[in-house]
Chain A
Amino acid sequence: MNAIEVNNLTKKFGNFTAVDSINFNVKQGEIFGFLGANGAGKSTTIRMLIGILEPSSGDALVGGFSIKNQSDLVKKNIGYMSQKFSLYNDLTVVENIRFFAGIYGLDGKKYEERKKWVLKVANLENMENVITGSLPGGIKQRLALGTAVIHEPKIVFLDEPTSGVDPISRRNFWDLINELSEGGTTVLVTTHYLDEAEYCNDIILINAGKLIAQGDSKELKTNYIKNPILEIESERVVDSMEILEKEKWVGETSIFGNYIHVILNDSSINEQHIYQLLQEKNGIKVNRAEKITPTLEDVFIHLIEKDSKKNV
Chain B
Amino acid sequence: MKTIFQFIIKELLQVKRDRKMLAVIFMAPILQLIFLGYAANMDVNIIHTTIYDQDQTVTSRDFIKQFEQSGYFKLDYYVDNYDEVTELLNQGKTLVAIIIPKDFEKKINKRETAPLQTLFEGSDGNKASIALGYIQGITTRFSQGIVTDTRDKIGMKISLSGSLTPEVRVWYNPEMKTRNYMVPGILGLILMISTISLMSMAVVREREIGTLEQLIVTPIKNYQLILGKLIPFTLIGFVVLVIVMIIMTQWFGIVVRGNKLFLLFTALLFVLSNLGIGLFISTVSKTQQQAMMASVFAVMMPMIYLSGFAFPIENMPEVVQYITYVIPLRYFIVILRGIVLKGIGFSALWLETLILFGMGIGLLIFSSLRFSKKIE
Contacts and interface: CB of A to CB of B under 8 A. Distances in A.
Tell whether any CB of A sits under 8 Å from a CB of B in the complex: yes
A93 interface: no
Contact of A102 (B2, B14, B210, B214): B2
B202 to A, nearest CB: 14
Given A88-B10, A88-B14, A102 B213 contact: no
A113 interface: no
B169 interface: no
Interface stretch (A45-53, A165-173, A222-230, A231-239): A45-53
Given A53-B375, A86-B211, A90-B18, A102 B217 contact: no
A99 B214 CA distance: 12
A54 B18 contact: no
A91 B17 contact: yes
A76 interface: yes
A53 B218 contact: no
A105 interface: yes
Contacts of B86: none
Interface string A52-69: 111000000000000000
Given A90-B17, A90-B18, A51 B217 contact: yes
B259 interface: no
Range for the number of chain A residues in contact with chain B: 20 to 34
A270 B210 CA distance: 53
A82 B6 contact: no
A115 B105 CA distance: 98
Interface string A101-114: 11111010000000
A180 interface: no
Interface string B1-28: 0110111011001100110000000000
The listed residue with most B CB atoms (<10 A of its CB), out of A84, A98, A103, is A103
Contacts of A82: 210, 213-214
Nearest to B217: A80
A84 B10 CA distance: 20
Interface of B: 2-3, 5-7, 9-10, 13-14, 17-18, 209-211, 213-221, 373-376
Top-6 shortest CB links A-B? A102-B6, A86-B214, A84-B210, A80-B217, A99-B10, A75-B219
